[in-house]
Structure 1
């Protein structure tokens, strides 16, 4: 049987409000959460400080009025109590389980999460092998067979971008909650359709974008929202690397490939969070691979009020993962900004007077935190940290950048 959230909407709202109020607490003995090398202690990766609302998101204490249009299941009436829901792990299935991100990050996170149970994996190749090391009870060679499994309540979809819509909609029709790998879809229109299908089925849909669940990402948002950087002036985000496998689906336009669509979310999301709005103007340029996808992409975004930003994404340049946000009072610099490991905790602040301050955020596995947050949303215990509306807003910005570079959708 598929679990449904607790029967009381107000109970879920109170839980979400409490999560927001308890977010990012520091030890009472520390005079400031932002002193040199002082740790920032967060009670949970799914709890967040009071801050300026991010573009496309609702506040933590209330669902958006159009939440059903954006793939967030409302708490539904059920005879299952909240205590029963917390006692029984959610049954997971993974469609496309041989993908690199599933094997290296998400499957281990599901296995490590106490509220999760890996029921089944599906892959058109080596399904039995890819699930064996993680204790999956069943392995399927057909994705549809996994969706027919009654013990699977939630599915993770790490398929190529062009297949996201089909399998998210089919999962929704089967009554499964869905965590879909980023980007949520190749286009905003596809994402809207996916969200509508999940809303109609009464299941949760969220994008598998793990970076916001890392304590350092929380600390960055808190710093920006606190005004410590002053008025924002410039930002620069880069995610480049060498994709040297010519048969990789990310080189294929019909599979939704290209550098911007694959890694652009990592660059754009923190800029939207910092600005609190979408850009008024964008400009862009791309270098195309022989296949026709963008091998390298650069963009310029004007957010108004004197704040501009640049992004750099590439499949054919040395690896860089950097984020820099410059304000009138201080500049924030982060290395390994976009796919941080648990140990990537440092933030450097360069103040107007030349002082350098290093901030050390807490350590956590962002993939496990993402899985546990998703389960809390499914159970009705929390509002989404990052809603489908925010994912669609970001895809709209990506589409504008592609158009500015002369690329078709």
Structure 2
């Protein structure tokens, strides 16, 4: 071996090194188990959105009523909340891989039943709402186990990177899935959308089957997953201030500053000269697109160690961007501010997720992820009620800008009053 040549080669700068400082941190993908879990997410992120579009479309086709579409959303939310809390407790008492296999199989069977009812032309809103409730119940059981498993598959210093990878895929699915559904419905019809989702879920089941066993850690007492265990999870949150603050940060951002309920009114009144349909589509797509861009450039933040400050800064940045959106008269400026809000939301998701996985013990991670699922699902829906009411009372632009300013003010007051989040670091 030529030593001099080896030395020269080692000293030669890696042309990719500058890129690694800002590009997506892919270190977790070097770990086969996490790679399998993440790979299954890629498949289902788009497939699940096909069903998410197909169900309300089919309900509207049957009834011609948006009220029924809204009722179906509520029918899915209630079991999601109930079973996410229960699923978190179950995930702390049994092998999480086994729970993922059961729940993913249940979701796949539900998708097959969605396909069957559409294929035979059942046209029953009751059947659709029942299937949606069952599907969301399985999803509520699945999500805590999936998220809690990540901390067992990657080391602690890679948790933000793993969170960025997973969130980027999910946000990409929220953009690509509806676009793909819109393109496919006229070509292949609704039944086939359900069937594609079912086939995608079969890939997910296979990937989960290849994960290592994830039983409770040695020394952890075996418990039953009941009301008492769920209540213990809430007591655990109240006794760990940094966990409580991570949930409050998301509630502040989403409840006070998520203005999606006002998008139709803004598109109709403020941005109508630019084309109401175009404006509405851009407004709904802007935040997920910004989140995807934030994920692609997550190398700029995923290696940060002051996770608490990252959450505080991200929530404040979200509030500032939403305020800018509310003050915008041009749809292009509005979209730019919403995209910036999406980047901030990605940063917040990454570090709140990392805090939940690193600050909680393994025997509590399932229940923490159950509460996290409820907060993520429920916060935007509360925001819809709040912003819809405020928009009617004060006008949409004032309601949006005021909500953004409230996010900034409340987050800064909370961070100043309770130092636990500011002090938290890996």
**TM-score past 0.5 threshold:** no
More helix by share: 2
Which of the pair is proportionally richer in strand? 1
TM bucket normalised to smaller: under 0.3
